[in-house]
Structure 1
Amino acid sequence: MRTSIAAILLVSTLGSSALAQTTTTGSPAAPDAKTSQQSGGQQSVTRPNTDKMTQDGASTGSAANTKLEKGANSFTEGEVRSRLDKAGFKDAKDLKKDADGIWRGTAMRDGKPTPVGVDFKGNVAAQ
């Protein structure tokens, strides 16, 4: 009796492990991948606007043309400061999250104070 109970437990454990396996298809760096704006924004894949970033993470002018999107923003102030810094905006001040979920403040870029924003996807924009 003990042997049959142990066998049943073993089979059920192995069977449930096989059912819990998942299969991943596709490639995260697909050659035909679209930007978040092209693919429909929040309802599609959400990722930061990294289409025009340099190797050091600085933006190549795209921050001025980026449209920030409304949405529930879970970034902390420290994470926002880090994203701004990587995009070339230094010494961020007065960062506050607005009613649309967009972090807004002022940062230095090219020696000038610039109004900036960071949306829920991590997109950085000069305002």
Structure 2
Amino acid sequence: MKRYLLAAAAASCLFASGAIAQQTGSHNPIIKDGSPHQIGTPARGANSFTQAQARGRLMKAGYSRVGNLAKDRNGVWRGMAFKGHSKVRVGVDYKGNVVR
């Protein structure tokens, strides 16, 4: 009986340590925090964000004077914005990720 309890306790420790590693090092976290993420390549897909929502995501990510947003054929909102004093091309994919 003691061996069974000891084995069960050891197995639960192994599973718990795997769950912690998943939460901290994963690109797709268990709990999404809602903040915009900067990524290199936008995800293709049907974008349900409105133009105003896409503009809000960009502004939340630190861009200002966001303008000329239009959806491209891949469903990504594309436009121009300022990051500091630099004018840059920006985008928001269907997942809400911000691309530059």
Question: Is TM (by shorter chain) over 0.5?
Answer: yes
Deviations 1:25-51 (A, max 9, x none): xxxxx6314324xx9xxxxx8x68x7x
Point out where structure 2 has 5 or more consecutive residues left out of the alignment: 1-18
Larger Rg: 1 or 2? Answer: 1
Per-residue CA deviations over 1:29-76 (Å, capped at 9, x if unaligned) read x6314324xx9xxxxx8x68x7xxxxxx5x7xx73x532110010000
Matches within 5 A, 1:77-88: 77-88=51-62
Return the match for 1:115 from 85, 89, 94: 89
Greater relative contact order: 1 or 2 (C-alpha under 8 angstroms, separation 6 or more)? 2
Aligned length: 78
Paired AA for residue 73 in structure 2: A
What is the CA–CA distance in structure 2 between the aligned matches of 1:76 and 1:105, rounded to whole Å? 14
The match for 1:35 among 27, 36, 55 is 27
- Report the 3-state secondary structure (helix = DSSP H, G, I; strand = E; otherwise coil) of the residue aligned with 1:91: strand
Amino acid at match of 1:108: F
- For structure 1, the 5+ residue unaligned runs are 1-29, 40-44, 51-56
1:92 to 37, 43, 66: 66
Task: Map 1:1-127 onto structure 2 (within 5 A).
Answer: 31=20, 32-33=22-23, 34-36=26-28, 63=38, 65-126=39-100
Structure that is richer in strand per residue = 2
Q: Indicate the structure with greater helix content.
A: 2
How far, CA to CA, are the matches of 1:105 and 1:96 in structure 2? 7
RMSD: 2.6
Q: Distance in 1 between matches of 2:27 and 2:99?
A: 16
Residue 5 (structure 2) aligns with = none
